[in-house]
Every structure is written in C-alpha cells, then in structure tokens.
Amino acid sequence: MIVFDKPHALIDVPLHYCPGCTHGIVHRLVAEVMDELGIEGKTIGIAPVGCSVMAYDYFNCDMIEAAHGRAPAVATGVKRADPTKVVFTYQGDGDLASIGMAETVHAAARNENITVIFINNAIYGMTGGQMAPTSLIGQVTQTSPYGRDPKLCGYPIKVCEMLRELDGPEYLERVTVNSVAHVRAAKKAIKKAFQNQLDGKGFSLVEVLSSCPTNWGMTPQNALKWIDEKMIPVYPLGVYKDRSATQEGGNK
C-alpha cells in the first residue's frame, strides 16, 4: 500500500529551489490539496515574481505568470472571466506585502473568491537576500547590513493582522512548515482555503512562515529552528479570521 507519493498535480521535474528551502513543501501541499479536492483540471494558478516565479513549471494545472505584485489583480480577472474555475495565487513577501500590497488589500476588501498562498520567509530570495517588508527587527540582509533598524526602515508588516481589520476577507490563517506536525496543520489550512473558494465563501489567504537557508546563512535544520525561535514570536501562528466559523458560533 502506498503511504506517500508525489501528488499528480505536481509535475515530476526537479525544483530549482535551494537545498532545504521549504517552498517545495508548500508546492507539494497545494498539489496534494488539488488532488484530494479533484480540482486540478479546473484550476488556474498565478505565479508571482520572486523565487517562485517559475512555479508555472511545477504545477500540472494551467498557469499564468504575473507581473511583480499583480497576481491578485490577474487572479481577479481570471476568476471574473469564469467563476466556476478555481483560481489561486502563490506569492512571496516582497511580491504580496511590498510591491503588490494594494492589489492584496483590495482583493481582500472585495472578498474576491480566490485562494492566496503567501510565503513569508522574511527576505527577498531571488535577488539575493535583500530586506523584505516582513524582515525582522535587527535582521541582517544585503540591504540592511547592520540589521533592520526601525528608525530607518520601519517595522515588519503583519499581513494577517492587518487584513483581519477589513470586513472583506473570509479566511486568514498563519501556519508554518518547519516540522511534521506543522506541515500537517499547514495542509489543513490550505485545503480549507481552497474548499472555501469551492463553497463560494471568498478571499482565503494562508500565510506560510517558510525558510530561506541560503539567504539567512544557515543550515536547513537551523533555519527551521530560526522559524520557531525568531519568526513565530513576531508572527504568531493561528486563525486570524474565519468569518463562516464566527457566524456559525465557531471558536474564533
């Protein structure tokens, strides 16, 4: 009996990500969810600009490569063109929370019926490790070589906390993939974010605290520990909004 194998929705090609980068885990979770919900054939994914720019080569569903930060606007167009299709964006922190913040906030405010997978690894990976809107205070990056100083470059942007204040979005949850238990929880959240779309509930965003061993300058194992020790205290895991559950008298 097969206990675990590559999901069909993930194409069988080597990923270009660095060793130990958890992008690959999240790709696989999205693909597993597509398999389990039986939606690969009617799903259109939108890749961002950043490390996951070539995500279109990895998912078996139809894919679109968007301009930097514009994935939620492109997804809006695709979804409005045919609301029976399933549309998701896969975006990093620079894409979603810096250059594309307006598109993110307004897609959420419209409760656009799309699924957003947001990879927060607190750094710009593809361009070689610059400060991201989500970089931590004191974090050393190529463009904050003395550590992120809030007096010079402000504070980390907490996307789930910020979007929670809008009336629009249906579902916001922050997860991570730095342990087997966390991977299981992340998959549950991603599945819910897609199921919400199928149920017509609206904008569902899952923020995934992800590792970047290369640009953090750590071993893959230490990078996972860094998520526990440094990132989670700033970016607490949990459900930030779940409108349907709230309306049904749920837990949050």
168 near other proteins (CB under 8 A): no
15 near other proteins (CB under 8 A): yes
43 near other proteins (CB under 8 A): yes
Q: Hunting for tokens 């301009």 — which residue is that? A: 67
146 near other proteins (CB under 8 A): no
Stretch that binds other proteins, among 78-86, 135-143, 196-204, 230-238 (CB under 8 A): 78-86
* CA neighbor of 148 nearest in space, from 136, 166, 159, 158: 136
- Distance between start and end Cα atoms, the chain: 39
185 near other proteins (CB under 8 A): no
Q: Which of 20, 143, 162, 244 binds other proteins (CB under 8 A)?
A: 20
What residue type is 199 in one-letter code?
D
10 near other proteins (CB under 8 A): yes
Q: Hunting for tokens 């696989």 — which residue is that? A: 28
Q: Hunting for tokens 């779940």 — which residue is that? A: 242
Cβ neighbours of residue 60 closer than 8 Å, sequence gap 6 or more = 8, 9, 10, 11, 31, 40
224 near other proteins (CB under 8 A): yes
The rounded distance, in Å, linking the Cα atoms of 115 and 30 is 11
DSSP, res 121: -
14 near other proteins (CB under 8 A): yes
Instruction: Note whether 170 and 200 are within 8 A (CB).
Output: no
54 near other proteins (CB under 8 A): yes
Q: How far is the CB of 189 from other proteins (least distance, A)?
A: 15
Q: How far is the CB of 90 from other proteins (least distance, A)?
A: 14
Instruction: Note whether 148 and 139 are within 8 A (CB).
Output: yes
Nearer to other proteins, 85 or 164 (CB): 85
Cross-strand partners of 88: 45, 115
Stretch that binds other proteins, among 40-48, 117-125, 136-144, 165-173 (CB under 8 A): 40-48
Q: Which residues bind other proteins (CB under 8 A)?
A: 1-6, 10, 14-15, 17-25, 28, 40-44, 46, 53-54, 56-57, 59-67, 70, 73-82, 85, 102-103, 105-106, 179-180, 183-184, 213, 219-221, 224
